[in-house]
Chains A and B, each alone.
Chain A
Amino acid sequence: MGFYLRQRTIQSAISLLGLIVLVFFLARLTGNPADLFLPADTPQAIRDEYAARHGFDQPVIVQFGAYLMDLLRLDFGESLRDGTPALDYVLAAFPTTLLLSFWAMTISLTIAIVTGSVAAWHPGGVFDRIASLISLTGASIPNFWIAIVGVLVFSVWMRVLPTSGTGTPWHWILPVAVLFIRPCGVLVQVVRSSMLAAFASPYVKTARARGVRERAVIFVHALRNAMLPIITVAGDQAAGMINGAVIAETIFGFPGIGKLLIDAIMFRDFAVIQAAVMITAIAIFILNIGIDLLYSMLDPRVRHG
């Protein structure tokens, strides 16, 4: 296991390096930050001065070399917008997004496992049909639409939830709801189909034949067998949370990493883009390693190589 972890860490570090190279060079294809930071009517001389002050007049490869050297000292550079270290921005925003994603994933997984299992118990039954329709609908509504309608209904019309912002647990309800609906819809489908397969497996049939109680059959024997695909898809959904977080954080004014990233992208605040992508990527790599470890716990046949 120690060997495996070490190897995965090395592989992840290589991927991370590739990612940095890609983000660094591709982001610089999208225009000069001097044009965006300075007003449209700024004279060229002042634009050039700005570019020189921030090193954008250097060849990109030189800029990259300097960036890597700084990175070795864990210096992620400074935000172009106000000179704050980029890492400070990212670290201040990261916990918000992590918490949002954590709650969204926990709730989706819980709902999906219960609903999907019960639906698979009587495939084609009334519950299965209704659960399928609701989960499919949930999985196919644009999340920003849910967010705005949510505010109009629950905050403006019913006045039971705050419109936006952070502060109390109440503030988290709408953003988490916006984030969990789609993964939940997808996961219900996945749980249902893998449970169907699991019920048909010899393993579960044997358990039934041995007279194990039905509830135990569902939640212990079948679920354990069905867990692998569920974890795979849940992992993908969790890794994709950042995209949903951009929307939820933008609308609800949540100071998270999704909002930070989209703002940095729009302003070509390269240091912040790079820091945000890197911290997110590290989180995703850790998540993937965790998922692999879960695999081997659930299924001893999965070998690490």
Chain B
Amino acid sequence: MKPTAGFHLAALLLASVSMPAFAQQDDRVITIVTPYAFDNIDSCNSSSEVGLIVRENVVEALTHLDEVTGEPQPRLATAWEQVEPTVWRVTLREGVNFTDGSPFDAASVERSIERMFNPALDCLNRGKLFANIRLTPKIVDDHTIDISTEQPQPLMPLFMSFLTIESPKTEMDRPTSTPVGTGPFTVTPRGPNDPTVLVRQDAYWGEAPEVSQATYLRRDESTIRAAMVEVGEADIGLNIAIQDATNPETDIAYQNGETTRLRFSFAAPLDDIRVRRAMNMAVDREALRDGLFNADYVLATQMYLPRINGYNPDLQPWAYDPEGAMKLLEEARADGVPLDIEIPVISRINFYPNGQEAMEAMVAMWQAVGLNVRLQTMERAQWLKLVNKPYGEDRPPMLIQEQHDNNSGDATFTMHFRYHSTGQQSEFGDPELDRLIDAADAAQGEERTKLFQDANAYSSESVVPDVMMFHMVNYMRISPRLDFKPDAVTSTMMELSKIKFSGTN
């Protein structure tokens, strides 16, 4: 036994020496602690939380959406123009190099687009953003490229903010754990299970960031993340739970782009609009917000935030009216609506902070007006089977807990998918709503905005397909030594160049 003990002792000592020392004395080195695994930080996954690390830090996109207005701004593209209805001509920035030395040019843009559409590569962006839009690049000259689509694509400058360009040396068929881009930081090669470390590169074409190195650690428990910033082991803690965000000096709330709702399946008794209305009226959203969430949460009237094109500012949240709800239900019952059928409320394990509590509370509110509802909790994969078409036959009446993020800037991502009769997560078909959405999809400019707004108004007044909840909020705990404010896009993109150090302006 003795040699074994000695071996382990040696191994422990070795482990303690070889681990990277996080508490380096360089005061420009920061540590960010998140709940995410970041298994696969290939830039093709940048529309997920991977974007926190890679977007604009490592790989840059052609355009950059303004944090306030949502308008596309130049980044790797300096100008863009719709030369034909289906063709956009993009002028590229000159004098930019990838961190591996390759030059940034039209060929690298073409290759990045083709890599994203390469069916042999697992790529989240392809499925999430470009599932129905095939981009075809055509090189005009070294720094000009034409991007064409099958249908006219007015939103191209917006899409270009997701087109991250990686080095032409990136493998076409395999995801990489060390993406190489034109950004101000490079990814340090790492072993399996090691944290991701970004190091500042000196040859960056733009302004040099203050942060010289950033380490992304993973801790699953919010309590631990909050504690790490409090004791100085980390500088930024992401997704701090509401109950841990107790220090207004360091704990900052920001809208994370997510909106929550419960979706109705349209089976009896939920096929009756009075029942759907009554269920909306029976929920005391303000009590939910103040009790379980926080004043920073906003009562939602539609599935995306006001900064998204197509948001209808005139819609009002449902007023809490349990008596009115009971009256509606009585009417429905008198007309033979089978209100005795049990309605499951499907919640998902570990969905969002206090999500389970919110479901329990809403179930109690519905029971209070005499509805026969029952909470049913599901694991993620089970829940996914339930939310996506094709639905099983005899789909029962139910309410399904959902959360949706539209960080793209336009309503189409949301509207078609959830409210159009052909949408993959739509529970109903309403000809008028279909007509409005189709018309909006084909329109541009103000007309497009107006049509989406009309669709939203029509849906919430005449269809009532859901119980809207909140525009959600995240909390971030930020060390006092940093000068940083999260903004509307921080949940998907956290530019290290925006992080300054206190007292160094």
Q: How far is the CB of A100 from chain B (nearest CB, A)?
A: 10
A102 to B120 alpha-carbon distance, docked (Å): 43
Q: How far is the CB of B284 from chain A (nearest CB, A)?
A: 28
A106 to B227 alpha-carbon distance, docked (Å): 30
With A43-B131, A165-B233 as contacts: A102 and B8 at CB distance below 8 Å = yes
A108 to B388 alpha-carbon distance, docked (Å): 50
Cβ B424 vs Cβ A46 within 8 A: no
Cβ B424 vs Cβ A89 within 8 A: no
Main secondary structure of the interface of B (DSSP, over half): loop
With A53-B120, A92-B191 as contacts: A253 and B8 at CB distance below 8 Å = no
Please name all residues of chain B whose beta carbon is closer than 8 Å to the beta carbon of A168 when the two chains form the complex: 16, 19
Please name all residues of chain A whose beta carbon is closer than 8 Å to the beta carbon of B219 when the two chains form the complex: 164, 251, 253
For residue B5, CB closer than 8 A to chain A, the reply is yes
Please name all residues of chain B whose beta carbon is closer than 8 Å to the beta carbon of A163 when the two chains form the complex: 224, 227-228, 231, 233
Cβ B424 vs Cβ A44 within 8 A: yes
Main secondary structure of the interface of A (DSSP, over half): helix
For residue A300, CB closer than 8 A to chain B, the reply is no
With A95-B11, A166-B15, A268-B381 as contacts: A82 and B40 at CB distance below 8 Å = yes
Contact of B127 among A42, A252, A266 (CB under 8 A): A42
Please name all residues of chain A whose beta carbon is closer than 8 Å to the beta carbon of B233 when the two chains form the complex: 162-165
Cβ A155 vs Cβ B177 within 8 A: no
Give the 10 A-B residue pairs with the shortest CB-CB distance, closest first: A31-B381, A255-B193, A82-B40, A42-B127, A81-B39, A46-B127, A92-B192, A35-B384, A89-B192, A167-B19
Cβ B382 vs Cβ A31 within 8 A: yes
Measured CB to CB, the nearest residue on chain B to A269 is B39
For residue A72, CB closer than 8 A to chain B, the reply is no
Q: How far is the CB of B324 from chain A (nearest CB, A)?
A: 34
Cβ B11 vs Cβ A32 within 8 A: no
For residue B12, CB closer than 8 A to chain A, the reply is yes
How does the 8 Å CB contact mask read for A242-283 relative to B, with 1 for contact and 0 for none? 000000001111010000100100101000000000000000
How does the 8 Å CB contact mask read for A25-52 relative to B, with 1 for contact and 0 for none? 0000011100111111111111101100
A172 to B39 alpha-carbon distance, docked (Å): 24
Please name all residues of chain B whose beta carbon is closer than 8 Å to the beta carbon of A31 when the two chains form the complex: 381-382, 384-385
Cβ B381 vs Cβ A53 within 8 A: no
Residues of chain B from 11 to 59 with CB closer than 8 A to chain A in the complex: 11-12, 15-16, 19-22, 37, 39-40, 42, 47-48
Cβ A43 vs Cβ B231 within 8 A: no
For residue A99, CB closer than 8 A to chain B, the reply is yes
With A43-B131, A148-B221, A166-B15 as contacts: A93 and B381 at CB distance below 8 Å = no
Please name all residues of chain B whose beta carbon is closer than 8 Å to the beta carbon of A241 when the two chains form the complex: none
Please name all residues of chain A whose beta carbon is closer than 8 Å to the beta carbon of B217 when the two chains form the complex: 165, 253
